């Protein structure tokens, strides 16, 4: 974040050239960056060194061979775009982290507090493996996957939200970054007890069935992806990048698995198991 303020337009131009050229080069040679930004090689190298010092780019084969963007660099470009477009005015602390993402709180131009999800596909393997270099060399594929995940998740929210299904209101996407309504609650997985487990389960299941009817199966639903609001007893279903449509060959299988994950949590943690008639009443014959 600090880096964002000390960089000028040219640094961002260099980052954008790297982003674009990574599709065609393993590492983008300094010459190519110089040509694309119409700057001298010396000046370009200076800019690249600054970016390198801030940890926004990598030189996996040594500086002579060239540079690639990393997730910090991609974050910088995406954040700059959302700020320049007047969507966000400031970004705050981290409020969540999952398998493939980090989520931060932010403030919009309308002074609304929102959630910003930064996809980080493959970043675990960036840390886990010793072969940093190899990972850096195909990091653009992971970044492309992150971009796609953000796009897919936005699509799901755009289908579900207008139909009244309890998901965060979608606001904006840029690259691998997705801005949505901030849900001020707790992950259901962290909840120890609730007043009325039967009612809570019914809410979750009804949302799942409505999502299915709207054309969306989550495919990764668990108590971690349900946010619970203790005050109102409301629930929100989050984390939709891997959704499929009901006419997908295994959609019913995924829906069942989502439902079973939820049922398993209610039984184990909240000691609640619905009877068959209630399940059939909520889910309908052809769903479960
Ligand atoms: P992942 O695929 O990494 O699990 P999630 O969408 O589940 O991504 O987000 C990770 C965590 O961030 C969630 O478990 C939740 O705690 C928090 N989070 C995500 N979206 C929101 C939101 N709109 N409002 C509040 N918290 C959120
Ligand atoms: Mn999640």
Q: Measuring from atom 12 of ligand 1, which residue has the nearest CA? A: 96
Any atom of ligand 1 within 6 Å of the Cβ of 95 = yes
Mean pLDDT across the stretch 28-34?
98
Task: Give the contacts of 190 (CB within 8 A, at least 6 positions apart).
Answer: none
In angstroms, the CA 282 to CA 276 distance is 10
Distance of CA 98 from the midpoint of ligand 1 (Å): 7
pLDDT at 8: 92
Query: Per-residue DSSP letters for 107-164?
Result: EETT--EEEEEEE-TTHHHHHH-S-HHHHHHTHHHHHHHHHHHHHHHHHHHHHHGGGT
Q: Measuring from atom 7 of ligand 1, which residue has the nearest CA? A: 239
User: pLDDT band at 138, cuts 50/70/90?
Assistant: confident
pLDDT at 126: 67
pLDDT at 1: 57
In this predicted structure, the answer to whether residue 231 has a pLDDT above a threshold of 80 is: yes
Ligand located closest to 153 CA:
1
* Strand, helix or coil for residue 181: strand
Closest CA to 287 of 260, 255, 265: 255
Distance of CA 220 from the midpoint of ligand 2 (Å): 8
pLDDT at 3: 65
pLDDT at 125: 67
């Amino acid at each position: 974040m600090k880096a964002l303020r000390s960089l000028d337009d040219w640094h961002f131009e260099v980052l954008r050239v790297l982003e674009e050229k990574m599709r065609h080069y393993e590492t983008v040679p300094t010459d190519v960056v110089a040509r694309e930004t119409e700057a001298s090689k010396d000046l370009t190298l200076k800019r690249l060194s600054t970016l390198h010092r801030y940890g926004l780019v990598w030189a996996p084969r040594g500086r002579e061979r060239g540079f690639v963007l990393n997730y910090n660099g991609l974050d910088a470009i995406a954040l700059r775009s959302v700020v320049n477009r007047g969507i966000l005015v400031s970004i705050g602390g981290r409020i969540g982290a999952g398998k493939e993402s980090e989520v931060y709180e932010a403030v919009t131009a309308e002074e609304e507090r929102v959630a910003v999800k930064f996809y980080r596909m493959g970043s675990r393997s960036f840390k886990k493996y010793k072969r940093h270099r190899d990972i850096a060399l195909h990091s653009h594929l992971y970044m492309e996957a992150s971009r796609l995940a953000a796009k897919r998740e936005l699509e799901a929210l755009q289908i579900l939200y207008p139909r009244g299904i309890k998901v965060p209101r979608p606001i904006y996407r840029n690259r691998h970054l997705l801005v949505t309504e901030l849900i001020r609650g707790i992950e259901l997985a962290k909840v120890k007890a609730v007043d009325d487990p039967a009612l809570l389960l019914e809410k979750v299941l009804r949302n799942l069935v409505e999502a299915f009817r709207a054309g969306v199966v989550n495919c990764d639903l668990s108590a971690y992806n349900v946010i619970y609001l203790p005050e109102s007893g409301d629930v929100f279903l989050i984390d939709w990048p891997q959704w499929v449509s009901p006419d997908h060959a295994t959609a019913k299988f995924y829906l069942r698995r989502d439902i079973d994950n939820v049922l398993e949590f209610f039984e184990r943690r909240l000691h609640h198991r619905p009877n068959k008639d209630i399940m059939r009443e909520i889910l309908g014959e052809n769903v479960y």
